[in-house]
Every structure is written in structure tokens, then in C-alpha cells.
Amino acid sequence: MEISHAYLALTWGGYLALHSLLAANSVKRGFQQILGKGYRWYRLLYSLLATAGAGAIFLWGATLPAVRFIPENAVVRLVGLILATYGLLVVRLAFRQYRFSEFIGLRGHIDDDVATLKVDGVHRYVRHPLYAGLILLFLGYLLFAPTFTNLVTVACMLLYLSIGIPLEERKLVARFGDAYLEYQQEVPALIPRRRPSAE
């Protein structure tokens, strides 16, 4: 591992910290006061900046030396491909629960009081299917291409999710109250049980 990988970790850390900060309710309320009617496009701008920032870091990472931390192994690559493919399928199922235009902010700001708690579809199995799919995708990609650059990137992503999921759970409890607390008791966060929760 080289010093460039340490810089990569710091860059991911700064990006993910800013990503969380801009998603915080207190920060969004501040921007709402500043932007006024223009706040309806906050989510779209947030999505565009997040995509551009992550894309830039991934492109930079691709220029770093591709030094492997485990030797070439066809079985490991196959397992990684299977995990990543399954992760993509889970992510796709998760996105079916949302309108893409609404998710990225093309339809403008959606007030919390009109938002609905998703408990059907893939959400019957896990509370955070998008994150579950991304974790599988990250791990699969790391096994498929086990370089130090990818190790740093995946480690940063997993650390971010381990911190971000509990924070998001607090937001959901504040937004939906007892309904979400009951949902927490019935449905696991990331790893599904054998039988899904009843709708």
C-alpha cells in the first residue's frame, strides 16, 4: 500500500462526511431558509454533486497502481462476480419501490409530511434493501478485483454505511414514529429472515 492510498482514504472520508452533512435535517432547514422557493431543487443539486464527486474520486482511483493484495484466483473472481451480480439485482429491486425522478430530485422537494413508509415489496425482507445490495456489490467487486485501491474504497464505503444506517434510522423514527418502531421489530435491517414480514 502506498501513500496515495492514504490520500484516497482521506478524500473518501471528506466526501462522505460532506455527503452526510448536506443530508442532515438541520443543514437542509438552513438551506431552505436561504434558498426560499429555490429549495425545491435542493435534492436534485445534492444528487448531481454526489454523483460528480464520487465519479471524480473513482476516476482518480483508477489511475493509481493496481497492486493486488491477494494473488489471481479464478474461484475468488467467480465468487466476487456472483456477489456483485446479486447485489445489482437487489439494488434494482430496491429502486422499483421509488420513482427515479423523485429519488434524485427531478420532481422537486417532497415534504416529510407527505412521505410514506415503504414496507412492501423488497422492504418486507429488509429495511434497507438499497444498502444491502450495495454492500454485496462492494464486496463482490473487491473479490473480483482485489487491489489496494479497491480495498480502501470499499472499506470507506462500509465504514460510512455502518455509521450512516443508524443515523438514518433515527430520522425515520422521528418521521414515522411508532409505525417505524414496529417495522424495526418485524423486519431486519440488512440480512433477511427466511420468511418475509406480512404486508
* Digit-coded pLDDT (tens) for 114-167: 568 888 888 999 999 999 999 999 999 999 999 999 999 999 999 999 999 999
Average pLDDT over residues 68-90: 95
Residue 45 lies in a domain: yes
Question: What residues make up the domain containing 141?
Answer: 3-186
SS (H, E, C) the chain: CCHHHHHHHHHHHHHHHHHHHHHCHHHHHHHHHHHHHHHHHHHHHHHHHHHHHHHHHHHHHHCCCCCECCCCCHHHHHHHHHHHHHHHHHHHHHHCCCCHHHHHCCCCCCCHHHCCCCCCHHHHCCCCHHHHHHHHHHHHHHHHCCEHHHHHHHHHHHHHHHHHHHHHHHHHHHHHCHHHHHHHHHCCCCCCCCCCCCC
Q: Specify the pTM.
A: 0.83
Residue 197 lies in a domain: no
Residue 153 lies in a domain: yes
Q: Is the pLDDT of residue 105 over 70?
A: no
Q: Is the pLDDT of residue 108 over 70?
A: no
* Digit-coded pLDDT (tens) for 33-58: 898 888 888 888 899 999 999 999 99
Number of domains in the chain: 1
Q: Is the pLDDT of residue 113 over 80?
A: no
Residue 84 lies in a domain: yes
Residue 58 lies in a domain: yes
Average pLDDT over residues 59-77: 92
